[in-house]
A = this chain, B = another copy of it.
C-alpha cells in the first residue's frame, strides 16, 4: 500500500543541497545560484519529481480547489455551465471538484462535509436545496455552518435566512420576452407548462408569465398552467394533458428546453404540428434546442457570463475582497422555428 514517494529530501540529497534550496527553485520565492539551480532542475527531471500538493496545501491552508454542487451532470444545462465555469476557474489557478447529488438531500449533506474535509477554498452551488422555495430549517442551518468557514456562491438559487452571495439569471425578463413575443405573434391563448411547485425557478417563471399575460389584458386559464418536472419525460406527460383539453392554448411556454422537447415530441406524434398548429417555446438554450426539430425558440442563459461571474465572485470572496451580493445575468432571446404567427 505504501507508495515510495520521491520528496524534496531525495532531490536535495542527490543534488548535494538542502531541502530548503530545492523548495526555493520549486516555488521561485528566493534566489538560487544559477549553477545550483541547474543541478537541481536536472535531478528533478531525472526523477520526474512532482511536489506533493497535499503537503503544500496543508502548509498554506489553501487547497486551490473549488467544489461544485449540482443535481446531475447529465443534464445539458449543468454540464454546459460546469464546463464553462471550470474552464474559467482553471485560468485562475483553481481546480474543480464536482459533486453530483442526484437530487438527494442526503448526498448533498455528505458532499458538503466532504468538501469541508477536503479543504476546498470555496463552493459553487449550482443546484439542489437552494432551488426549493420553502427552505428546510436544518439545511439552512447546515448551510450557514458551512458558510462560516468557506465562501459559497449560489447560482440561480437562494435559501431563506441564508445570507449568501448570489449570481442569477434574469429569469423573469427572459419569460417576459418570450410571452411578449408570442403575444406579438397574435397568440391570445397561451399556456405555461412544466416545472415543479416549490422550486424557485418554476415559481419565478410562472409568476412572470402570469403577470405578463395579465398586463396585456389576456386571460390565464388554470388548465393551461400545468406542473410537471424538468426533463423530457415531464414534457411528454404534460403534452398528453394538453391533448385532453377541450380548448387548447395556441402557444405554450415551457419551463425549459427539455420540457419543450418532450412537449413537441408528443404533440407531433399525435398530429399537432409545431409551429403550424401550436407554438412552443423553451428556456435555457441548451445545445439541443438548436437541433431538435423544428429548432426551438428559447431564451439563452448566457452560460459563459453566468459561470465566469460566479467564479470571479467566489475567488474574490476567497481572497477576502468585496464582492457584489447579488448579480443578475441578462438573457437573450434566441429565435428559431418552433413558433409562428397565429391566424384563425
Q: List 25 A-B contacts (CB under 8 A).
A: A1-B61, A1-B319, A1-B320, A3-B61, A5-B61, A48-B145, A50-B116, A50-B117, A51-B117, A52-B117, A52-B119, A54-B118, A58-B58, A74-B79, A74-B80, A76-B76, A79-B79, A83-B100, A86-B98, A87-B100, A87-B102, A95-B97, A95-B118, A265-B291, A265-B293
Residues in B neighbouring A73, C-beta threshold 8 A: 73, 79, 82-83
Residues in B neighbouring A105, C-beta threshold 8 A: none
CB-CB contacts of A282-303 with B at 8 A, as 1s and 0s?
Answer: 0000011001110000000000
Residues in B neighbouring A145, C-beta threshold 8 A: 48
Residues in B neighbouring A53, C-beta threshold 8 A: 117-119
Q: Would you call B262 and A291 a contact (CB within 8 A)?
A: yes
For residue A327, CB closer than 8 A to chain B, the reply is: no
User: What is A's interface to B at a CB cutoff of 8 Å?
Assistant: 1-3, 5, 48, 50-55, 57-58, 61-63, 72-74, 76, 79-80, 82-83, 86-87, 95-98, 100, 102, 113-114, 116-119, 145, 149, 232, 261-262, 265, 268, 287-288, 291-293, 319-320
Residues in B neighbouring A72, C-beta threshold 8 A: 83
**Residue from B5, B97, B116 within 8 A of A97 (CB atoms):** B97
Q: Would you call A96 and B95 a contact (CB within 8 A)?
A: no
In the complex this chain forms, how many copies of it are found?
2
Q: In the bound complex, how far is the Cα of B295 from the Cα of A292, in angstroms? A: 12
Residues in B neighbouring A261, C-beta threshold 8 A: 291
Please give the distance in Å from A278's CB to the nearest CB on chain B: 16
Nearest B residue (CB) for A118 = B53
Please give the distance in Å from A141's CB to the nearest CB on chain B: 10
Q: In the bound complex, how far is the Cα of B73 from the Cα of A74, in angstroms? A: 9
Nearest B residue (CB) for A268 = B293
Q: In the bound complex, how far is the Cα of B96 from the Cα of A95, in angstroms? A: 12
Residues in B neighbouring A86, C-beta threshold 8 A: 98, 100
Residues in B neighbouring A232, C-beta threshold 8 A: 287, 291
Q: In the bound complex, how far is the Cα of B5 from the Cα of A63, in angstroms? A: 14
Nearest B residue (CB) for A56 = B117
Residues in B neighbouring A3, C-beta threshold 8 A: 61, 149
Residues in B neighbouring A63, C-beta threshold 8 A: 54
Nearest B residue (CB) for A295 = B265
Q: A1-B61, A3-B61, A73-B73 are in contact. List 7 more A-B contacts (CB 8 A).
A: A3-B149, A53-B119, A54-B118, A58-B58, A73-B79, A87-B100, A288-B288
Residues in B neighbouring A54, C-beta threshold 8 A: 54, 57-58, 63, 118-119
Please give the distance in Å from A206's CB to the nearest CB on chain B: 25
Residues in B neighbouring A76, C-beta threshold 8 A: 74, 76
Residues in B neighbouring A61, C-beta threshold 8 A: 1-3, 5
Residues in B neighbouring A57, C-beta threshold 8 A: 54
Q: In the bound complex, how far is the Cα of B113 from the Cα of A50, in angstroms? A: 8
Question: Which of A54, A86, A100, A117 gathers most chain B CB within 10 Å?
Answer: A54
Residues in B neighbouring A117, C-beta threshold 8 A: 50-53
Please give the distance in Å from A33's CB to the nearest CB on chain B: 26
Q: In the bound complex, how far is the Cα of B100 from the Cα of A58, in angstroms? A: 26
Nearest B residue (CB) for A59 = B54
Q: Would you call B100 and A98 a contact (CB within 8 A)?
A: no
